[in-house]
Amino acid sequence: MQHYTPIQIRFNDIDALNHVNNTVYMQFFDIGKLAFFQECLGDEINWSEVTPVMVHLEVDFSAPVFIDSKIRVNSHVTGFGNKSFRMDQEIENIDTGEIHSRSKSIMVAFNPKTNEGVVVPNSWREKLARYSELTL
């Protein structure tokens, strides 16, 4: 199962070539991650105790996004480590189904008080597994 986040394109997202600047895609992926975590984990995340942080990001661009495009970010979990989990996301045109960009990221469960990674809580694993093809 995937999580879907509609994205509003803003005027300042557009560059001189009349399409969304490549650096803005990372903001779109972040908007998708925040909506994903809020819906999927909800109160399980105490942002001052244990929070997901990104430690790795890969992005592929395949088609430009224009100001009048209707897009969304699709997010799902693709695997778990001890202190980490992997996420895949894509920016999809809602009208055509065309994929404009794909990202792969590694997220770590992080304790901001100790400044260290921690074991991914079991409650997170169970809820995150709902947004994946994985079984625990």
Say if residue 135's pLDDT is above 70.
no
Which pLDDT band holds residue 119 (cuts at 50, 70, 90)?
Answer: very high
Would you say residue 124 lies in a domain?
yes
How far is residue 19 from each of residues 10, 83, 90, 92, measured CA to CA in Å?
11, 38, 17, 15
Total residues found in the chain within this entry: 136
Would you say residue 135 lies in a domain?
no
Domain count, the chain: 1
Span between the terminal Cα atoms of the chain, in Å: 15
Would you say residue 136 lies in a domain?
no
How far is residue 83 from each of residues 55, 108, 118, measured CA to CA in Å?
11, 6, 5
The phi, psi pair for 41, rounded to 5°, reads -100, -25
Would you say residue 95 lies in a domain?
yes
Q: What is the mean pLDDT of residues 78-85?
A: 96
Would you say residue 134 lies in a domain?
no
Would you say residue 64 lies in a domain?
yes
81: containing domain: 3-129
The CATH number assigned to the domain holding 32 equals 3.10.129.10
Q: What is the mean pLDDT of residues 34-46?
A: 89
Residue type, 5: T
Q: What is the pLDDT of residues 83-99, one digit of tens each?
A: 999 999 999 999 999 99
* Under 8 Å between Cβ of 36 and 75: yes
